[in-house]
């Protein structure tokens, strides 16, 4: 066999091998095969220990949330730090863990902007704890969230670093579009205060449980008329669940004293365990809003007056007819 013929045979074999490899790779990494391998798979890994969350909604920094030894905190403008809602963050993280990849929308970077996944895409940065025993630093995963999908409950989503956009059911964009205050812990009273654990409410009148025990009927001290149990129970629940709209930012100067001041109202609540919390109410920065300070936290809350009307009923509404 001549050297020229042998070289041609070898060259032909190489070409055949390359064509075969190209064909196989094309099949393995075709959009159809990629979709078949990823559809229904979790969007994120399992068991992620999230220690921080940054939310950027349409290029605007919305929330910076960090896990603390106890609970979460939200970092606000000017270096201020507010308590974050552990309940809402827990719901959000469970929601994230349940998201799965749907239909592959595009693996062509030229089409990502059409799906809302360009530079102005909303971003969700999940900061993860370094593995135990490792000297590594904090890692992070970034999700880009684009337009809503055609069904209305899907979003176009990319994991940064992956060249693929998926339709993901679950309306993640709903969470990202919330106001900053959505992530704050804005319950005015602590968790141990519930309608069922309240023993007394003292202000311009005193509403207390007859025997001081949980579940006992409510009575109005010093009032000859019996208490309306339905109204008293509803008021106790509304007061225990009272949630502000925002923190006063910064807290307005308080020129009135603890018992005086025009339009000021002081209230004390006590639980069956003997814990007492005082609230002080005064006019807010605008009509229909009140400022509330408490004995247990350093923050001043802005509360809608309509909520307070349900939480602090006039004496006449508490009397049985």
Q: For the chain, how big is the Rg over CA atoms in Å?
A: 30
Q: Which of 126-140, 241-255, 280-294 shows the highest mean pLDDT?
A: 280-294
Residues 172 and 203 in one domain: no
Instruction: Give the tens place of pLDDT for each residue, 138-180.
Output: 789 999 999 999 888 899 999 999 999 999 998 899 999 999 9
Tell me the CATH number at 80: 2.60.40
Residues 202 and 258 in one domain: yes
Rounded (10°) CA dihedral 184, 187, 189, 195: -150
Residues 209 and 85 in one domain: no
> What band does 313 get if pLDDT is binned at 50, 70 and 90?
very high
Which of residues 92 and 264 earns the better pLDDT score?
92
Residue 23 in this model has a pLDDT that exceeds 90: no
Residues 228 and 154 in one domain: no
Residue 136 in this model has a pLDDT that exceeds 70: no
Average pLDDT, the chain: 85
Which of residues 36 and 108 earns the better pLDDT score?
108
What pLDDT is attached to residue 21?
Answer: 54
Domain boundary among 123, 153, 183: 183
DSSP 79: G
> Across the strands, what pairs with 300?
293
Residues 294 and 228 in one domain: yes
- CB-based contact 238:189 (threshold 8 Å): no
Q: Is 3 a member of any domain?
A: no
Residues 176 and 203 in one domain: no
Q: Could you give the CA distance from residue 261 to residue 259 in angstroms, rounded to a whole number?
A: 7
> Across the strands, what pairs with 56?
61, 123
Q: Could you give the CA distance from residue 75 to residue 66 in angstroms, rounded to a whole number?
A: 8
Domain boundary among 183, 211, 232: 183
Instruction: Give the tens place of pLDDT for each residue, 56-73.
Output: 998 888 899 999 998 999
> Could you tell me the strand order of the sheet in which 165-169 lies?
81-84, 72-75, 60-67, 50-57, 122-128, 139-148, 154-159, 165-169, 104-106
204 to each of 20, 140, 274, 321, how far by Cα in Å?
88, 53, 21, 20
Q: Is 37 a member of any domain?
A: no
Which of residues 139 and 267 earns the better pLDDT score?
267
Q: Is 206 a member of any domain?
A: yes
Residue 255 in this model has a pLDDT that exceeds 50: no
Residues 55 and 178 in one domain: yes
Residues 96 and 219 in one domain: no
Residue 2 in this model has a pLDDT that exceeds 60: no
Domain boundary among 132, 160, 183: 183
Q: Could you give the CA distance from residue 153 to residue 95 in angstroms, rounded to a whole number?
A: 14
Q: Is 192 a member of any domain?
A: no
Q: Is 41 a member of any domain?
A: no
What pLDDT is attached to residue 13?
Answer: 65
Residues 267 and 176 in one domain: no
Residues 205 and 175 in one domain: no
Residues 128 and 176 in one domain: yes
Helix (H, G, I), strand (E, B) or coil at 78: helix
Long-range contacts at 111-120 (CB < 8 A, ≥ 24 apart): 111/165, 112/146, 112/158, 112/165, 115/146, 115/147, 115/156, 115/165, 116/145, 116/146, 116/147, 116/156, 117/144, 117/146, 117/156, 117/158, 117/165, 119/59, 120/58, 120/59
What pLDDT is attached to residue 3?
Answer: 55
Structural domain containing residue 131: 50-183
Residue 30 in this model has a pLDDT that exceeds 80: no
What pLDDT is attached to residue 243?
Answer: 95
Q: Is 7 a member of any domain?
A: no
| Structural domains of the chain, count | 2
Least confident window among 44-48, 228-232, 264-268, 303-307: 44-48
Q: Could you give the CA distance from residue 115 to residue 120 in angstroms, rounded to a whole number?
A: 11
Residue 260 in this model has a pLDDT that exceeds 50: no
Q: Is 95 a member of any domain?
A: yes
Q: Could you give the CA distance from residue 216 to residue 135 in angstroms, rounded to a whole number?
A: 57
Q: Is 27 a member of any domain?
A: no
Question: Per the confidence metrics, is the pTM higher than 0.85?
Answer: no
Residues 178 and 56 in one domain: yes
Residue 126 in this model has a pLDDT that exceeds 80: yes
Tokens of 221: 């001290």
What pLDDT is attached to residue 320?
Answer: 81
Residue 82 in this model has a pLDDT that exceeds 90: yes
């Amino acid at each position: 066999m001549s050297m020229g013929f042998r070289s041609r045979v070898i060259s032909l074999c190489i070409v055949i091998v390359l064509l075969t490899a190209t064909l196989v790779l094309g099949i393995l990494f075709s959009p159809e095969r990629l979709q078949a391998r990823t559809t229904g798979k979790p969007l994120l890994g399992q068991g992620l220990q999230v220690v921080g969350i940054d939310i950027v909604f349409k290029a605007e920094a919305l929330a910076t949330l960090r896990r603390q030894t106890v609970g979460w905190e939200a970092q606000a403008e000017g270096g201020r730090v507010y308590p974050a809602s552990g309940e809402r963050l827990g719901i959000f993280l469970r929601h994230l863990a349940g998201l799965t990849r749907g239909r592959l929308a595009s693996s062509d970077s030229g089409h990502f902007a059409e799906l809302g996944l360009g530079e102005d895409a909303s971003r969700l940065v999940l900061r993860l704890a370094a593995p135990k025993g490792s000297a590594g630093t904090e890692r992070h995963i970034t999700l880009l969230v684009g337009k809503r999908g055609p069904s209305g409950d899907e979003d176009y989503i990319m994991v940064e670093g992956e060249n693929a956009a998926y339709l993901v059911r679950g309306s993640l964009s709903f969470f990202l579009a919330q106001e900053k205050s959505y992530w704050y812990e804005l319950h005015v009273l602590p968790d141990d205060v519930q309608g069922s654990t309240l023993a007394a409410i003292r202000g311009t009148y005193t509403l207390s449980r007859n025997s001081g025990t949980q579940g006992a009927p409510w009575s109005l001290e010093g009032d000859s008329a019996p208490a309306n149990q339905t109204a008293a129970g509803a008021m106790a629940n509304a007061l225990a669940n009272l949630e502000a709209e925002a923190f006063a930012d910064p807290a307005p100067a308080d020129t009135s004293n603890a018992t005086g001041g025009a339009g000021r109202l002081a209230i004390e609540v006590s639980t069956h365990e003997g814990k007492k919390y005082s609230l002080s109410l005064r006019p807010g920065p605008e009509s229909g809003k009140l400022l509330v300070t408490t004995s247990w936290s350093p923050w001043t809350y802005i509360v809608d007056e309509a909520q307070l009307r349900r939480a602090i009923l006039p004496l006449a509404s508490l009397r049985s007819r």
